[in-house]
Amino acid sequence: MATAAELLGPDGPLARNLPAYEARPAQLEMTRAVESALSTDRVLICEAGTGTGKSLAYLVPALLSGKKVVVSTATRALEEQIFWKDLPLIERALGVPVRAALMKGISNYVCRRRLADFRSSENSLRPQYARSLAMLDDWLVETDTGDLAELAGVREDDPLRREISSSSETRVGAGCAYFDECYVTRMRREAESAQLVVVNHHLFFADLALRGPHPARVIPDYDAVIFDEAHQLEDIATDFFGMRVSRARVERLLGDAERGMTAAGASDPLFSPGANSPTLQNARLAAEGLWAELRRQSREERFTLPRDAWVGALQDRYHALDNALEALGAAASTASGRVTIGANPRGRAAVAALEALRMVEARVEVIREELAAIVSGAPGRITWFEMGGHGAVLSSTPVDLSYVFRARIFETVPSVVLTSATLSIAPSTSDPTASPFSFFRSRMGLRGEAVPVTELVLESPFDFARNALLYTPKDLPAPGSDAFAEMAGHRIAELIAITRGGCFVLTTSLRSMAALHAHLARSLPGQRIFVQGAAPKAALIAAFRAAGDAVLVATMSFWEGVDVPGRALRLVVLEKIPFLVPTDPVVQARSQELERSGENPFMRLHVPAAAITLKQGFGRLIRTRDDAGIVALLDPRIHQKGYGPRLLAALPPARRTTDLAEVRDFWANVPALTRGSH
């Protein structure tokens, strides 16, 4: 049997069957490393620069391995690219069937039971749902998957989606009256029979958290896992090994309880509390009281809650909500006891009402338990509250997740591949012989020799020295000064004038984004300027790409995962070094943990994290061999501080300058073929 590298090589079937296919040395080296890791039960850490072709480099060995392999990505876009583009390409080129399944989080799917409950409620008669329900009805006749991503005519923030989507808290399982027709059930059956299962990191860690001490799982058991975009693992895992009680979660519970009780009352005239139930009203008031009291604890939108904060009025508000939830659970239990299935002419609707009420009772207990654990606190955990765009959220999470990664993944799963374009950083001057992956390994719990690890760094095949220029001016004020925003805005306008648009301006905060957007709008009146938040992210990117000479001002969510190849993006401005927010509760806790261990948190955490994010920001510019352009980092600390050389060393080998005149010369001399090829 041919090896994966032979299949991907210059004489393999992909080269023979795909006219535009090009065998790449770095891709073949990665392919051999992945094949070895899968066959010898090792961990592989592989940084593969942009243009390596890493998806094929791990998919082909995974398919040839004969093992059950999970491929986990950070974004829905990459997940769908792998399943709908890369795997069919491999299948066509090799001429063999590929047994693969795509799994998304269950909130992406219509829940038939919740849909039936919603239709039977008075809420469904509101005019705001009429158009969306009609489109949903038409779509349900056609869909095989029930994946709400296919429902293009209904906005992502449409309230109907919240009413009818599945969730871990509302899923009944085999006892559900709609189990055999369930879209989630169908998805899981397909995954069970597949050899390769494509998921995202959120679903992977949701599954891993379930596997804990409980015999539950979402993803089928597997022999190996490949993490693409592995630099995001720690941030995403933080959500799933913590506890989160949010206003939205409580409201969903109360909404489902209201519908369930109404349905139970409709089937039994002795019980009909409906929306006016004192139990429901008390729970709503108690929840709002807790959120309001938490908000009074600090003026910050996100702040730490120490254990001794839970006294006085805050403690009283917590107890009031706990008592109200306990009463709600009792009411749901009483209501479920009054649903008579056998004599009920509504049949399956009555079964669904009973299931919904039992789920409400169970969900009440879970929320009460999590609230109690959050309030009690525990060593090694951090508790915080945030009130912002996502509403009120009370959270608690472990400070250090490295032991979770080590025990639950690397010491449990036989073969693990971790890859991304940004995993390595230059070693510090105090330890120049250290692994370029030392920061990533420490966060993953892969220090020492106990777990066998292979490391591989593959440079991008793109010619950065020819096609890219890094501009780092020395003449701007420090980012903390009052003059920085004004002078940075003026310099950005000068850069945009050089390239005639085609610019991303990437900031580190919403405040900076707003200030720079306002400055550019004043100083460039004829320039088309987009700003994050004015439209959905995908719509902004599409409009920017179509315009060809626009400017887009955005913050951290655009530093990675955004792909605009070609001339439409030829200038990337990075406002500041993207350090972690020092006041963030999780960052504070991790910094304090490092201090207690005798380490310098700035050099051990903040600088390495900034280096990886800088690489991501730079990576927006060059997406193909023919792309050319300029990256400007306007933060003078890159020249003034001792950590500057380490950050610069992490970036691709583009030409570098501090002189704006050299920027003009570079752009004037970019080869016309390269600059106009798209």
pLDDT at 673: 36
For residues 552 and 564, give the distance between their C-alpha atoms in angstroms, rounded to a whole number: 12
Lowest mean pLDDT among 92-96, 337-341, 387-391, 597-601: 337-341
Q: Are residues 426 and 445 in the same domain?
A: yes
Q: Are residue 296 and residue 407 in the same domain, yes or no?
A: no
Q: Do 181 and 203 share a structural domain?
A: no
Alpha carbon distance 379, 238 (integer Å)? 16
Residues 421/47, Cβ–Cβ less than 8 Å: yes
Q: Are residues 514 and 603 in the same domain?
A: yes
pLDDT mean over 240-264? 85
Residue 341 pLDDT: 53
Residue 472 backbone dihedrals phi, psi, to 5 degrees: -130, 85
Q: Which two tokens stand for residue 453?
A: 């690890």
199: alpha, beta or left, given left = phi > 0 and alpha = psi -120 to 50?
beta
Query: From CA 490, how far away is CA 495, in angstroms rounded?
Result: 9
Within the chain, how many helices (H) and strands (E) appear?
29, 18
- Residue 14, burial from CB neighbour count under 10 angstroms (0-12, 13-18, 19+): buried
Same domain, 276 and 213: no
Residue type, 200: N
- Residue whose entry in the numeric block shows the structure tokens 């309001």: 292
Angle of helix 25-40 relative to helix 54-64, nearest 10 degrees, comes to 40
Q: Residue 665 sits in which domain range?
A: 464-676
Residue 640: CATH number of its domain? 3.40.50.300
The conformation of residue 215, written as its DSSP 8-state character, comes to S
Indicate which CATH number applies to the domain containing 269. Answer: 1.10.275
SS3 string, 450-464, reads CCCEEEEEECCCCCH
532/671 same-domain check: yes
Question: Nearest CA to 247 among 287, 279, 286?
Answer: 287
Angstrom distance (rounded) from CA 111 to CA 115: 6
Q: pLDDT, tens digit, for every residue of 629-669? A: 999 999 999 999 999 999 999 999 999 999 999 999 999 98
| Contact in structure between 61 and 4 (CB atoms under 8 Å) | yes
Q: Mean pLDDT check: name the lowest of 54-63, 225-234, 343-352, 516-525.
A: 343-352
Alpha helices in 383-509 (DSSP H): 402-405, 438-444, 464-467, 484-499
Q: Which residue has the higher pLDDT, 152 or 104?
A: 104
**pLDDT, average across residues 227-254:** 91
Same domain, 511 and 599: yes
DSSP character at residue 174: T
What integer pLDDT is reported at residue 273 of this predicted model? Answer: 47
pLDDT at residue number 350: 65
Cα–Cα distance for residue pair 465/373, rounded to 1 Å:
54
Query: Is the pLDDT confidence value at 111 over 70?
Result: yes
Alpha-carbon gap, residue 548 to 566, rounded angstroms: 9
Task: Name the more confident of 288 and 350.
Answer: 288
Decide: 412 and 53 in contact? Cβ < 8 Å.
no
Instruction: Give, as one character, the DSSP assignment of residue 410.
Output: I
Residue 176: pLDDT band (50, 70, 90) is confident
Average pLDDT value over all residues in the chain = 88
pLDDT band at 547 (very low <50, low <70, confident <90, very high): very high
Inter-residue long-range contacts of 19-27, CB under 8 Å, 24+ positions, other chains counted: 21/93, 24/51, 24/52, 24/53, 24/461, 26/52, 26/53, 26/458, 26/459, 26/461, 27/52, 27/53, 27/54, 27/56, 27/57
- φ/ψ (deg, to 5) at 568: -60, -30
Residues 427 and 314 in one domain: no
For CA atoms 293, 298, 302, 307, give the dihedral sign: negative
Measure the CA–CA gap between 274 and 123, rounded to whole angstroms: 11
Q: Confirm whether pTM is higher than 0.75.
A: yes
Considering the domain architecture, whether residues 485 and 370 belong to the same structural domain is answered as no
List the 629-633 sheet strands across, edge first.
529-531, 551-554, 503-506, 571-574, 629-633, 468-471, 655-657
Query: At residue 388, what are phi and psi to the nearest 5 degrees?
Result: -155, -140
∠ CA 546-228-302, nearest 5°, is 80
Taking alpha carbons only, the member of 157, 212, 259 closest to residue 536 is 157
Instruction: Please choose, from the candidates 454, 460, 435, the residue with its C-alpha nearest in 3D space to the C-alpha of residue 26.
Output: 460
pLDDT range class, residue 344, cuts 50, 70, 90: very low
- According to DSSP, residue 110 is labeled B
- Whether residue 132 sits in one domain with residue 145: yes
236-265 mean pLDDT: 85
Q: pLDDT exceeding 90 applies to what percent of the chain?
A: 61
Residue bearing the bigger pLDDT, 178 or 253: 253
d(CA 337, CA 347): 16
Angstrom distance (rounded) from CA 104 to CA 149: 10
Token pair for 360: 């409400």
Whether pLDDT at 91 is above 80 = yes
The Cα 371–Cα 67 span in angstroms is 41
State the pLDDT confidence band at 161, using cuts at 50, 70 and 90. confident
User: Alpha-carbon distance 260 to 577, whole Å?
Assistant: 51
Other CB atoms within 10 A of residue 122 CB = 11
Q: What is the pLDDT of residues 385-434, one digit of tens each?
A: 998 766 899 999 999 999 999 999 999 999 999 999 999 998 766 676 78
Q: 445-459, pLDDT tens digit by residue?
A: 998 878 999 999 999
Answer yes or no: do 247 and 392 share one domain: yes
Count of domains in the chain? 4
Q: Which helix (H) or strand (E) holds 54?
A: helix 54-64
Length of the chain counted residue by residue: 678
Say if residue 227 is in the same domain as residue 337.
no
Q: 519 to each of 318, 481, 513, 524, 631, how far by Cα in Å? A: 45, 17, 10, 8, 20
